[in-house]
Amino acid sequence: MFRTKYRYLLILLLATYSLVNILFVVGDRLFDFTVPVPVLFGLLLVVVLGIWELNRLIDHHLDTLYQRFAGKIHPLIVLFILSQLNAMIAAAVALAASYLVLGRELTWNAAHYTLVVAFGFRVNLFLNCVNAIWYFVDRYRVAELRAEQFEKDSIEAQFEALRNQINPHFLFNCLNALSNLVYKDADTSARFIAQLSNVYRYLLYSQERKIVSLQAEIDFIDSYLFLLKIRFGDNLSIVKRIATDVYKFHIAPATLQMLIENAIKHNIVSGKAPLRINITAVDGSISVSNNLQEKHIKEPSARVGLKNIQKRYEFLSGKPVEIKKTDNEFIVTVPLVEVDPS
């Protein structure tokens, strides 16, 4: 609030209101002598202006001050405590200026200073109350915007996941693998159909959800990996290392599928250059890594998969998605989400 572009108009209005209020209550004898109305208005204006501008200066550096207090005190409390000093400074300056304008000697008068600083404290309390309302309304507005943006990003991410799976190309690959398999191994063909059904069922189940349990995501990935192994055989190696204590966490649906699909899409998968994917979950995070053997001819990509994952987790956990690329490996580490059981 203190940084609003209309602050000088608001300062003038507040000083005018204060003048009218004082004239109505005590007239022009604020002190033990008559104070001309223009001088009285000037005194009030200097107090309000001084408090506002000094508070604006503190507000500008509030984040730095908050960090110095190690985040233990709310920034509004820090601002209010420091603003009380601002009120005392503004009152002293305004009183001294009034003495000079009236041609009075600059001597310390505790009674006069007490009256002016009491007015300053009331103005400061009023401004801090308005600023607190402004602060929380702004936080609420930002939270609403973030929620709307998350919904948009979530829909885009779900669409990306479904497009990677439920599209003609994916279905063609599955049916092609099944047609080659059905005459060779009826039992494996039946398992293939069952796992394909599990994949579709999970995607339809999770498309309206922001998070799912890690256990549900891993069960889905097991079905998905079965389809990939039938398609790529020994050309694709996938190893899961999941610590038992991480199953209490949750994850955005189809996150692992998107990361695995991303690895297959951008890397060579062949007998001469098998792709090795590792899924590792420990200490509240899960990583998908693969050996780096990028395709020379890049497939068309909308480049939204990783970005959507990053944005979703920024909203869900406030922790970043870490992406690391070395000469030999590509690693994406996703923070898992802990849900309060209450």
**pLDDT value of position 301:** 54
**pLDDT value of position 305:** 66
**pLDDT value of position 128:** 86
Q: 176 and 249 share a domain?
A: yes
**pLDDT value of position 169:** 60
Q: 248 and 310 share a domain?
A: yes
**pLDDT value of position 236:** 93
Answer yes or no: pTM beyond 0.85.
Answer: no
**pLDDT value of position 186:** 83
Q: Which residues of the chain have pLDDT under 70?
A: 1, 26-30, 63, 65-71, 155-171, 298-305, 341-342
Secondary structure string (H, E, C) spanning 223-273: HHHHHHHHHHHHHEEEEEEECHHHHHCEECCCHHHHHHHHHHHHECCCCCC
Q: 48 and 136 share a domain?
A: yes
**Residue where a domain stops, chosen among 146, 181, 198:** 146
Exposed (0-12), middle (13-18) or buried (19+): which is 129, by Cβ within 10 Å? exposed
Q: 135 and 176 share a domain?
A: no
Q: 202 and 305 share a domain?
A: yes
CATH code, domain carrying 233: 3.30.565.10
**pLDDT value of position 280:** 95
Q: 130 and 203 share a domain?
A: no
**pLDDT value of position 215:** 93
Q: 324 and 240 share a domain?
A: yes
Q: 238 and 291 share a domain?
A: yes
Domain carrying residue 24: 7-146
Q: 203 and 123 share a domain?
A: no
Query: Is 2 inside a domain boundary?
Result: no
Number of domains in the chain: 2
**Residue where a domain stops, chosen among 86, 112, 146:** 146
